[in-house]
A and B are shown apart, each in its own frame.
Chain A
Amino acid sequence: MQVTRFPSRASGLADRMSGFIAHLRMNGMRVGPAETGDALAVLAEVEATDLPQARQALCVLLAGDAEDWRRFDDLFDAYWLNAGKQRTGVAQTAHVRVQSAKPMIWQQESQDIQETSSDSDQDATPDPGDEQAVGRDGKLIATRTANLSRRDLRELMDEDALKQAEQAATALARAIRDRRSRRRKKALRGPALDMRRIQRASLARGGEPMDLYRRARPPRPMRIVALCDVSGSMTVYSRVFLAFLKGLIGTGTEADAYLFHTRLMRVTDALRDHDSLRAAGRLSLMAEGFGGGTDISGSLEHFLNGYGARALNGRTIVLILSDGYCSSDPQALGDVLARIRRKARRIVWLNPLKGWRDYQPIAAAMQAAEPYLDAHLPANTLEALAALEPQFRKL
């Protein structure tokens, strides 16, 4: 087993633990200085020299949800056992700056940050990824291999497109009618008096109705879950779609966004970042295999099993943004859509290819999917997205 090389200034356990916490934070877990202290306290409670015990104890303390729980072992190994060859980071912090040990993606990231901070010419160096993409554009063939060459999504989003997409998304979200519950529930303000509670509270005042309680019909907003394909065949549309997702998340509706290619990841939090440039930076780190193959049914399955219970309910519209070219079994796609259909209210497939003049859904996957879709709509430009508004009114 290799021993982790710690920075020479790291003097003791406390220092290394704070490095570990920083490492977790860098990987998107919500931990801070308070947890560093707790972690040290926890180690005092168990046999700190026993690796499995220490690992378990720290996991119990530091994991915050099921996702953290699953990832913790890998992150733990990456830091303490020096297995961190392929770390997926979210943000850069000042901690753990061992130049030699830093994975390549972070070196790139830190250079970018230096560039922007020193106000140097931003489009000075052409991104080699661009040429790759140009070569790949023409063939709309799904491949199973995940493409690990990272594409920088920041170049795919400029302020104008973002603004337009946001407007389109806002209009869409507004078009989906905001339904109010029929039932009245207790509320701080509201048109109706809650006689039952007033009467109950009046007991405290000797039968005088002094405290007035109210009832209102609570809003039951439609929820939007957007799943966006970022595989190779979708590269040209990603720019539009990512901006669209960002707009959708920013509208204040209950919305949830996921990206998928051969894997699926939740990007709602990254998109909610107010600083759109930083959000794009976080995204591009996440979309590691961006521009590779597609596994639609596998990704949808992962979504359903991992997030389905929380994300889907009877008031959810599932938006799938994909061209339907995938390497997995079409039958599997039909099955997983049938399962989503049972849990969600509507499934809408936004297909960029449908904007083409003579498009027929001949891809096997699209044919298997069609019966389960409530709508199969074209979406290849911002204008097309904006034109969807009347369609959404009907949903």
Chain B
Amino acid sequence: MTLSDVQNGLAAQGYVSDDRLAMALHLAQQLGRPLLLEGPAGVGKTEVAKALAAWQDARLIRLQCYEGLDASHAIYEWNYQRQLLAIRASEAQGGTSEAQLFSDEYLLKRPLLEAISQDAPPVLLIDEIDRADEEFEAYLLEILSDFQITIPELGTIPARTKPTVILTANGTRDLSDALRRRCLYSFLDYPSRETEMAILKARMPQVEGQLARQIVGVVQALRKEDLEKTPGIAEMLDWAAALSGLGVNDMAQSREEVQATLVCLLKTAADYDAAPPEVMDRLIGKVA
């Protein structure tokens, strides 16, 4: 597999990647190292994993991190109810060895254990790792560097196949150096005008020429404005869908629709106030 394969493969899934991201994914697969993606919200960090899984026809296993996430939710837990039932049942029938109780059968696999016990290598997405507590990062280290999980009752379980691991973060807190050192790193920023045009074209071929140029132009200009929540790619696509759904062909001629559909782009009251019709007129005027 070469670098251009990666880029073409993602493009076939409708994901437009820049050179560095393609390189990062290529190396992550060649070296078997996890990839840490950082960047502002809405630039397609999570989408990368989905596109990668779809392209490689691999299973996508997702672990959404949150404050208070612990090992029993992320790695494994014993199925206590079943163990109790088994004990009761065996008492009735006359004896079971307790070794059986701690076997695979009674193990509830959570995403991380699931990911290393697949027959075909899956894509493991650990989303928003910076939302999890710092202690949780420590659990991850063993999995990320050696692809194995240690369960006291069973021993160490090595990975059957090595998953492609993608971690995303957007700077809620500093990640530890230990974690960063084990990962390849890539920073995703808001796309350039050309890239964004390509994304719009790949995702929504029905949005054409004039309108597409205007949408991308206005969104790019809005990102330069002083907003609380800068619109990302997902917002841009929503807006494009809304506009084309309303049958808009030229923004300058359908100002009301434009103003009404801004709810797709601007997500706080302050931002909405910051883009009154006059400002939008100016932005559209600049693009047209």
A interface residues (Cβ-Cβ under 8 A, vs B)? 30, 34, 38, 41-42, 45-46, 52-53, 56-57, 59-61, 63-66, 68-70, 185-186, 203-204, 206, 309-310, 335, 339, 342
Contact = CB atoms under 8 A, between A and B. Distances in A.
Contact of A206 (B24, B84, B175): B84
A112 to B, nearest CB: 29
A60 B171 contact: no
Contact of B184 (A60, A65, A204, A339): A60
B23 A310 contact: no
A38 B26 CA distance: 15
Contact of A30 (B26, B170, B181): B181
B78 A339 contact: no
B40 to A, nearest CB: 8
B177 A61 contact: no
Contacts of B5: none
- The residue among B19, B27, B181, B186 with the most chain A CB atoms within 10 A of its own CB is B27
B238 interface: no
Contacts of A69: 185-187
Contacts of A64: 177, 180-181, 185
Contacts of A59: 20
10 contacts: A46-B3, A46-B23, A60-B24, A60-B27, A61-B184, A63-B185, A64-B180, A65-B38, A66-B187, A203-B84
Interface in B1-38: 3, 19-20, 23-24, 26-27, 30-31, 38
Contacts of B228: 342
Q: Which 10 pairs, one residue from A and one from B, show the smallest C-beta to C-beta distance?
A: A203-B80, A69-B187, A56-B23, A60-B24, A64-B180, A310-B171, A45-B30, A63-B185, A309-B171, A204-B80
A30 B84 contact: no
A42 B26 CA distance: 10
Contacts of A309: 170-172
A70 B78 CA distance: 45
Nearest to A45: B30
A335 B24 CA distance: 38
Nearest to A35: B181
B173 A45 contact: no
B78 A204 contact: yes
Contacts, number: 73
B31 A41 contact: yes
B256 interface: no
A46 B81 CA distance: 52
A52 B3 CA distance: 13
Main DSSP-derived SS at the A contact region? helix
Nearest to B18: A56
A339 B173 contact: no
B278 interface: no
A259 B153 CA distance: 52
B273 interface: no
B177 A42 contact: no
A60 B23 contact: yes
B98 interface: no
Contacts of A46: 3, 23, 26-27
Contacts of B194: none
B190 to A, nearest CB: 12
A219 to B, nearest CB: 14
Nearest to A342: B228
B68 interface: yes
B177 A30 contact: yes
Give the bracket for the number of chain B residues in contact with chain A. 20 to 34
B260 to A, nearest CB: 27
A56 B19 contact: yes
B149 to A, nearest CB: 19
Given A30-B181, A203-B80, A42 B19 contact: no
A309 B81 CA distance: 44
B20 A66 contact: no
Contacts of B104: none
Interface in B134-148: none
B177 to A, nearest CB: 6
Given A204-B80, A310-B171, A310-B172, A60 B185 contact: yes
Contacts of A61: 27, 184-185
B215 to A, nearest CB: 25
Given A30-B181, A56-B20, 11 more contacts: A45-B30, A46-B23, A57-B27, A60-B184, A61-B185, A65-B38, A65-B175, A185-B68, A203-B80, A310-B174, A335-B226
B38 A66 contact: yes
* Residue with the highest number of chain B CB atoms closer than 10 Å, among A41, A45, A204: A45
A213 to B, nearest CB: 11
Contacts of B80: 203-204
Contacts of B20: 56, 59-60
A45 B27 contact: yes
Contacts of B83: 204
A25 to B, nearest CB: 13
Interface string B143-186: 00000000000000000000000000011111101001100111
Interface centre among A60, A68, A186, A203 (most CB of B within 10 A): A60
Given A65-B38, A65-B180, A42 B185 contact: no
Given A30-B177, A60-B27, A203-B80, A53 B3 contact: yes
A42 B23 CA distance: 11
A221 B104 CA distance: 44
B247 to A, nearest CB: 38
Given A52-B19, A185-B68, A186-B68, A310 B27 contact: no
Contacts of B185: 60-61, 63-65, 68-69
Contacts of A203: 80-81, 84
Nearest to B130: A310
Nearest to B29: A45
A292 to B, nearest CB: 27
Nearest to A201: B80
A70 B175 CA distance: 18
A287 B186 CA distance: 28
B25 to A, nearest CB: 9
Nearest to B41: A309
Interface string B222-252: 0000101000000000000000000000000
